[in-house]
Structure 1
Amino acid sequence: MTTSLPVIAVTITPIAFPDPPLLNSAGVHQPWALRAIVQVHCGDELVGLGETYGDAPHLALLGRAAGALAGLDVFDLAGLRSRIAAAVGVVDAPDRHGLTGGSSAEKTLARIVSPFEVALLDLQGQVTERPVHALLGGKVRETVPFSAYLFYKWAGHPGAEPDEYGEALDPAGIVAQARRMIDRYGFRSIKLKGGVFPPEQEINAIRALRVAFPDMPLRLDPNCAWTVDTSVKVAEETAGLLEYLEDPTAGLAGMAEVAALAPMPLATNMCVVRFADLPESVARGSVGIVLADHHYWGGLTASAHLATICRTWGLGLSMHSNSHLGISLAAMTHLAAATPNLTYAVDTHMPWQLGVDVVAEPLHFIDGSVTVPDAPGLGVSLDQDALARLHENYLTCGIRERDDTAYMRLFEPGYTKRRPRW
């Protein structure tokens, strides 16, 4: 006889935490990053955790979804998706920054399902006394390597004191930033967020990083800031320097043109962002590496399905990151631990959060990697005091939706988001 373990209640808490002025092709990060923490409650005082975006339109959709989950068996992931789809309906909710590719109703639904699915897997693990990676097929690695994620940045937000990373607006600043991050966390690969300055300047930064770190894999991601012709020129000038070039230009057709001529593989988190994108991408040869992100692919099991498809077609696999905290880091670590063909170091923004977190005992980077937790579920628990503080930040920060372009215009009134810009 099977016993159901029903969802009793769902709590969604919007939070905000300090974010540095990190530059990208859309503008610059605002002083506060927004997230939402999902708690799914069931019997025996068990609580499953999820983490997701905190923008107001997304929060509204999360609320509609949460209202439909009472009584759902925590093992019924198919029921989770169908209930949320019925509650939310057909909605296309694009983000303002556009750094994760185009929007669609399919992608919007996946983004809503994700934090609840992670929370249910956390509960399943607690009930069965198994870590989440065991529920995803089993652990294939003991540690998960992450990459140093570098950004051009101002010393601090205008009018505020400089942050501890300081200014990085030229190759010397980028190299100094890399040294600081690598000395602290031990990363063994490096990614530079480009699309900020003319390509020649960013190529010079890559060359400076190669001199400073001769043995480390390097990546460059301009978030579709370049034309096809510019992308090809950059690819030619960085031959032998880059592990991969990420999203140099927009669209599957444009990426295919570049991929046909580039000496290194192209990666993406912007042109392959849903399952419907995969057939055309494979047919065109648009990308060699997909950067999965469980936050908008529909959760951990959907991301595992994506990994299988990538393996079938010989595509490489890594993970994309946005500003996030420890629940997301734990989810990413479990997924990476159970994904055999995830062979590239994973992106993470955690070093930019400077220790701010909502979990009681955060996972740590040792030699650039995170040891895979073997405790039941995700292996992390909420720090309720920290959650309350970060929720208070949300209430008082005045930001309700991420908009890198609007924030940049406060300091450069004529600034426009243009893709391509060069």
Structure 2
Amino acid sequence: MGQDLTVTEVRLTPILVADPPLLNTQGVHQPYTPRLIVEVVTAGGVTGVGETYGDTKYLDLAAPLADALPGRAVSDVNALHRLAERVCGDSPEATGADAVDVGGLRGVQTTDKLRLSVVSGFEVACLDALGKTLGLPVHALLGGKVRDAVDYSAYLFYRWARHPGGAGEPDDWGAALDPAGIVAQARRFAREYGFTSFKLKGGVFEPEQEIAAVRALAAAFPGQHLRLDPNGAWSVETSLKVAKELGGVLQYLEDPASGTARMAEVAAGTDVPLATNMCVTTFAEIPEAFARGAVQVVLSDHHYWGGLQATRELAAVCRTFGVALSMHSNTHLGISLAAMTHVAAVVPNLDHACDSHYPWQTEDVITERLTFRDGRLAVSDLPGLGVELDRDRLARLHRRWLDDDGSMRDRDDAAAMRVAEPGWTTPPVPRW
């Protein structure tokens, strides 16, 4: 292998990964969720890997970028956004400035936002290849780590024991549909992974039931950090009522109401910090939210923001305006978790433990699963991301995608819910 950094090939592999029946305000996770694995190969014989969303609308934008990248230097990551803007046409499923996210869990979604998520996978793959070529970890390419391990939080969900009709892959977690079930879930997370902070995905049941669940967690884990995220399902009035009930209990309340205007109203009426990964997901959304004091914690996500470098830039903006920073999680695999950990390691103002769905994912595409110890993930000093692709696992999950009839290739929590409740429709906002 040499030092030639020219990209000679880009491989895109869509996969379907098992996902448990986790509930949210939109519905329930499907038995399988789509992800896209990006491989960037250099003339020096080095392959870098990245990961991002795999829904059809992302694949439509990723394909032309993969075609345009060969011949360019893998080190020229700053050019990726310009290249994507030039070669990626509008996805037929998300055109126009006001296209709405089908999933509904990350606010308004435009083609520009979709493109950022696609570029993030390519940027990570390029940085991985560059790090492997130079013998440097990705965190060194981002300026060097300021911590040797990154704190993560347990991500608690109301859930069913099984997917309707026995679909999907079984697990041994069982149902969690009341405060006792949530506490039992949290105890297992603490026992197996050492987590000392807990986030509950809310917006599923009446607010009073979710308040009771948080209070039960506070009793079971005194003094430990608790968060609640109803994904914008509540009105301003309900948000303020919950904030009053849980004042002094919550570390922060995440996206209780939808949109910057409603969040600003809630923030003006409570001392409970408000976090978001819905109303602030691009730099253009920052000025209004910060000026109105709508959020006190931004939950970054390198997929949303367009990569690791953009995440580092976001951290600097948050630090400037005195807004706290943590990190949001999607249904990610080990490649994305490794990338997330590298960028978290270089950000001085990482104020709260990061989210992670990873313990819920029973399948992966890397040779060795990443391991949480004492609620933390060690930062790898190996070249690149420090993970290696398992081609047999990748091929198996890609075969599942190929064999799918198309029903799982685009995440749709409402459609998954209709399998159990045929009359289900996406609830209006606010739901309560």
- Specify if TM > 0.5: yes
| Partner residue in 2 for 1:401 | 410
What letter is aligned with 1:195?
A: G
Q: d(CA) in 2 for partners of 1:309 and 1:47?
A: 33
Matched, 1:378 2:385: yes
Matched, 1:319 2:331: no
| Partner residue in 2 for 1:49 | 49
Quote the offset at 1:163 in angstroms.
2.6
Q: d(CA) in 1 for partners of 2:232 and 2:290?
A: 19
Q: d(CA) in 2 for partners of 1:181 and 1:392?
A: 31
Quote the offset at 1:264 in angstroms.
1.2
Quote the offset at 1:37 in angstroms.
0.4
| Partner residue in 1 for 2:271 | 263
SS at match of 1:67: helix
What letter is aligned with 2:159?
A: K
| Partner residue in 2 for 1:96 | 102
Any idea what the Cα deviations from partners look like across 1:5-38, whole Å, max 9, x if unmatched? 2110100001112111100011100000110100
Quote the offset at 1:109 in angstroms.
2.0
Quote the offset at 1:105 in angstroms.
3.2
Any idea what the Cα deviations from partners look like across 1:259-303, whole Å, max 9, x if unmatched? 111221000000001100000011100000000000111000011
Change (3 A) 1:386 1:90: closer
| Partner residue in 2 for 1:275 | 283
Residue 420 of structure 1, aligned match among 421, 427, 430: 430
Q: d(CA) in 1 for partners of 2:170 and 2:210?
A: 23
Q: d(CA) in 1 for partners of 2:259 and 2:414?
A: 21
Quote the offset at 1:162 in angstroms.
5.7
Q: d(CA) in 2 for partners of 1:55 and 1:397?
A: 13
Backbone CA RMSD of aligned residues: 1.3
- Structure 2, unpaired ranges of 5+: none
What letter is aligned with 1:379?
A: G
Q: d(CA) in 2 for partners of 1:105 and 1:275?
A: 15
Matched, 1:249 2:257: yes
Matches within 5 A, 1:15-414: 15-89=15-89, 92=94, 94-160=100-166, 163-354=171-362, 356-398=363-405, 399-414=408-423
Quote the offset at 1:4 in angstroms.
6.0
- Percent identity (aligned): 58
Any idea what the Cα deviations from partners look like across 1:19-63, whole Å, max 9, x if unmatched? 111000111000001101000000222001100111112112111
Give the conservation status (yes or no) of the 8 Å contact 1:106–1:274. Answer: no
Q: d(CA) in 1 for partners of 2:306 and 2:9?
A: 21
Tell which deviates more after alignment, 311-320 or 390-399: 390-399
Q: d(CA) in 2 for partners of 1:90 and 1:169?
A: 41
Any idea what the Cα deviations from partners look like across 1:183-218, whole Å, max 9, x if unmatched? 111111000000000000000000000011112100
Give the conservation status (yes or no) of the 8 Å contact 1:32–1:397. Answer: no
Task: State the TM-score, normalizing by the size of structure 1.
Answer: 0.97
Quote the offset at 1:134 in angstroms.
1.0
Q: d(CA) in 2 for partners of 1:100 and 1:7?
A: 33
Quote the offset at 1:75 in angstroms.
1.1
Quote the offset at 1:412 in angstroms.
1.5
What letter is aligned with 1:373?
A: S
Give the conservation status (yes or no) of the 8 Å contact 2:5–2:44. Answer: no
Q: d(CA) in 1 for partners of 2:206 and 2:289?
A: 28
Q: d(CA) in 2 for partners of 1:164 and 1:95?
A: 32
Any idea what the Cα deviations from partners look like across 1:203-242, whole Å, max 9, x if unmatched? 0000000011112100000000000000000000001110
Task: State the TM-score, normalizing by the size of structure 2.
Answer: 0.95
Q: d(CA) in 2 for partners of 1:211 and 1:380?
A: 39
Any idea what the Cα deviations from partners look like across 1:344-377, whole Å, max 9, x if unmatched? 11111111113x2111122210011100000011
Q: d(CA) in 1 for partners of 2:272 and 2:135?
A: 43
